[in-house]
Chain A
Amino acid sequence: MLLPALAGLVLFQFAPIVVGLLNSLQSFNPFTHRASGWVGLNNFVEVLAEPSFHWAVLITMVYVVLILAITIPLALGLATLLNSRRPGTTFVRAAVLGALAASEAVTALVWNQMYDASTGLLNALLVTLHLPAQPFLIDANHAVVSIVVMTVWKDVGLAMLMFLAGLQSVPGSVYEAAALDGASTWKVFQRITLPLLRPSVILVMFIATVGATRLVTPILILTQGGPGGSTTNMALYSYNQAFSFNSPGHAAASVVCMMLLLVALTGGQALLLRRRGGK
């Protein structure tokens, strides 16, 4: 019974990881892309010495922090709004889930047009409101934020669904008991809702962290990693090493570094949340 699932898991999950690990320890012929010999940790030494990789690590962290910082409160707010079943919530739900259902590449292309400095919708709106036009994808700082905004818009629906499921699993009588106990709306949120949503928060943080670390498509379509490599994260760095610079060994080494960073980030989060929960 388990064999087909196990075979799929080995073939599509474990095997690529092992191949990636092995590739990170080998050198490759740049023309044939064939492995040309074992080089030990040489690929790691070279990748870790590159300033562009240092920048990619920093930008990866920036994406993770910004995406988490925006996605979690926004998703929680939307889920709370939907859970209250106020008028208009059906529209909000459809809009948010619609974004989730849309293709990432198509979404990025649409946002690319909206961000366009001269012909884009956003600058047109700003100018109409007598506000200065913004260099959304031209300036380095603006570009990072623009990518984050598009990613949050695209992915907040999933986090919202998870929070909504968490909120709906709390029995209504618990809130009624809190009302009888004299808790204000804020106290109910702080002392009842939030602690009971802890499992959902952990799950959303994990999924959002993994998603933000592996972010490629929006960056590739919106900025191609620019301007001047300023929006290139570890995932795009690895992609570029493999497909632009014909260096599979360096690509594999940076992917292994990305995996280690991911393990460190999610492990740290789990540890932190478990400690807080314990308290």
Chain B
Amino acid sequence: MASLAIRGVGKAFGAAAVLRGIDFDIADGEFVALVGPSGCGKSTLLRMIAGLDQVTEGEVLIDGSRVNEKPSKDRDVAMVFQNYALYPHMTVRENMGFALEMRGDPAAERRRRIDEAAEILRLEPLLDRLPRQMSGGQQQRVAMGRAIVRKPKVFLFDEPLSNLDAKLRVAMRAEIRELHRRLKTTTIYVTHDQIEAMTMADRLVVMRGGVVEQIGTPLEVFDRPANTFVATFIGSPEMNLIAGRLETEGGRRLFRSKSGEQLAMGDAANGIPDGPVQLGVRPDHLDIAEDGLAATVDAVEPTGLETMIVTRFEGQPLVAQQHGRVRLVAGDTVRLQPRPSELHFFDFDSGRRIERASSNAVA
């Protein structure tokens, strides 16, 4: 186990900078997810930590020691690749034992470690099989087995579940979490799936366009997104954003949309000056009411326990999530009322979060 520090790390391919000023710490035994859309640089950052890509600027420190110049093999990190990268001509046992053999562990020790890892991952019946003779989920477990036999300081996972079907992905999520609970090895997990990141990680590092947008626990990031990107990226379905102005009329605060629709703010906007803002509201905090924003229903999507009502308001989609069944059809007009205590405010131009005066208003 080890702590890890990323200090002002940047990466450029020629003139194109793909990562800029990445700065964060990972505590010993922590499980951190790097999450962001495709092309945001999260895999590049992971590869730089692994030593597979050169760091252009800044420092990567493992247990306080700079490892920028160290080759991968000397960093004591193990990586699980998106396509598993198993050696196709080796059996499961040989795949798992390769790293131990390369570092000169005696055969008996190798066997003991492989058997131990195989037991943890329930791979005992598969030890003599070749990768092509196994399912995707089994190959995934072998890739993890290959990582854990080494007992490395840091585990690096590069979108390891993206090649699996939805059901298996959920099961493997739990397995990886359980593995981390058991081994307590410092883990960095790259994913573009925010649900995966939210459910597995102790902390999230949300990235976009080569920079870190926000770092925090899953619920911190969900409840207090730093900007409109994080607000819409974290959470499914994504947060609704409504452009408009905060105004004060006769001592009452209200939000006026571009078309002039009004929402009473009560104390929700305390401390936020009048002016243009983007109002953020999560779909499950939008209620059907007598009063509120008049939106046209585009689609109604029942999922059993809940119903998604996809509407259009001022030309933008506005999604409401309701418990139970809803009797609406496409073309209906519905009034949607956000819960004032659950509102988020973002600067109209920069998209940065604007904090309210009373913190207890945020759930």
Give A contacts to B, CB under 8 Å.
Answer: 171, 173-174, 176-184, 187, 191-192, 195-196, 198
- Pick from B72, B83, B89: contact of A179, CB below 8 A: B72
CB of B24 within 8 Å of the partner chain? no
Please count how many residues in chain B sit with their CB below 8 Å of the partner chain's CB atoms.
Answer: 23
Docked CA distance A121–B52 (Å): 48
Instruction: Report yes or no: A181 in contact with B52, Cβ–Cβ below 8 A.
Output: no
Minimal beta-carbon separation of B95 from chain A (angstroms): 9
Chain B residues near A173: list those with CB within 8 A: 81-83, 85
4 nearest A-B residue pairs (beta carbon) = A181-B99, A182-B73, A173-B85, A177-B85
Instruction: Report yes or no: B87 in contact with A174, Cβ–Cβ below 8 A.
Output: yes
Docked CA distance A181–B51 (Å): 12
17 A-B pairs (CB sep. < 8 Å): A173-B81, A174-B85, A174-B86, A176-B79, A176-B81, A176-B85, A177-B79, A177-B81, A177-B85, A178-B98, A179-B51, A179-B71, A180-B73, A181-B73, A181-B150, A182-B99, A183-B73
Chain B residues near A192: list those with CB within 8 A: 87
Docked CA distance A138–B299 (Å): 90
CB of B324 within 8 Å of the partner chain? no
Instruction: Report yes or no: A180 in contact with B103, Cβ–Cβ below 8 A.
Output: no
Instruction: Report yes or no: A171 in contact with B52, Cβ–Cβ below 8 A.
Output: no
Give B contacts to A, CB under 8 Å.
Answer: 50-52, 71-73, 77-79, 81-83, 85-89, 98-99, 102-103, 146, 150
Known: A171-B85, A182-B73. A176 touches B103 (CB 8 A): no
Instruction: Report yes or no: B52 in contact with A179, Cβ–Cβ below 8 A.
Output: yes
Docked CA distance A184–B102 (Å): 8
- Pick from B77, B86, B87: contact of A180, CB below 8 A: B77
Instruction: Report yes or no: B102 in contact with A183, Cβ–Cβ below 8 A.
Output: yes
Minimal beta-carbon separation of B149 from chain A (angstroms): 10
Q: Closest residue to A174 on the B side, CB-wise?
A: B85
Instruction: Report yes or no: B83 in contact with A171, Cβ–Cβ below 8 A.
Output: yes
Q: Closest residue to A176 on the B side, CB-wise?
A: B52
- Pick from A180, A182, A184: contact of B79, CB below 8 A: A180
Minimal beta-carbon separation of A251 from chain B (angstroms): 45
